[in-house]
Amino acid sequence: MKRYLLPKDVYMADPSVHIFNGKIFIYPSHDYYSGIPEDDWGIHFDMKDYHVLSIDGDPMTGKVTDHGVVLKREDIPWAWKQLWDCDVQEKNGKYYMYFPAKDKTGIFRCGVAIADKPEGPFVPQPDPIRGSYSIDYAVLKDDDGSYYMYFGGIMGGQLQRYNEQNEAVNDIVFPKPEEPCFSPRVVKMSDDMLQFAEDPRPIRILNPDYTPMKAGDPHHFFEASWMHKYNGKYYYSWSTGDTHLLCYAIGDNPYGPFIFQGELMTPVLGWTTHHSIVEFNGKWYLFHHDCHPSNGYTPLRSLKVCEIEYDEDGKIKTVDGSTEL
């Protein structure tokens, strides 16, 4: 069973979901018809603001409230365009939004905006995080109070422009099918939540035989990092891009390596999806988007939620992404 979270003519995507003050809060990107032709680099996704949603009670039945615009592109001093996927975490009563935007040179950076309430509004910092790059920032609050950011996206997300030492490269070479796939990144956050506490590290996604996942594997990383914990294990999940899957791997610490477990969700209508996983009142939920209301028109996506289950070995039962309501 799935649920649309908004009216079918309201387009939002890339939901990052957390429980704050006992309530579900959703931090999506906000699609609209930009008129920009579609291409492989995502230039047609020219989002210009963020909304915050919340749900009263059960995610499958509770009332969804749209708290309106909480951050606009023109309020961000350094940003040029494309406010893509964001995430929010709380520390000491403050709420920190991490969002990608292209700066005036066309490079994606990670901005930070701060609020006193989970529903915002959020006030941006004057500059992006030093040394930040690429897109799709997801932040885990670990049990010891440490915070870790997971990020990266290929093609339009620009991850291929950087090597694993976080250096920009002039000659971009995509791996051959038999070579290891691109690695997403993980980095510990500073105590004030405004900078990286260290250099970002590559995340190793390994096959069950502990060999590196190859670029030709249909389960390779492309974008849309998410991290959650279940029974003390770290569940790292991602989108595969051109093979249209959501996949996951499990590790023993926030840095990995992570051992591939399987497909979290099969393809949705639309080019791909982007997700988050959260526990609420003892049940687990998968939030994601598809393009059913827009009949597959990729720039206009819609938010959905469904319940997920784990088997006795801690594996997540695969969700059928093609299901329409």
Q: Which residues are catalytic?
A: 14, 223
Structure tokens at 156: 């339009």
Q: How far apart are CA 264 and CA 271, in angstroms?
A: 17
Neighbours of 75 (CB within 10 A): 14
- How far does Cα 20 stand from its chain's mean position? 18
- Buried-state track 36-46, b at ≥16 Cβ within 10 A, e below 16: eeeeeebebbb
Single-letter amino acid code for the residue at 31: D
Burial of 194 (0-12, 13-18, 19+ CB in 10 A): middle
DSSP code of residue 212: B
Of 56, 54, 45, 60, nearest in space to 14 by CA: 45
Q: Say which residues have a Cβ less than 8 Å from residue 232's Cβ, sequence separation at least 6.
A: none
Of 181, 297, 312, nearest in space to 247 by CA: 181
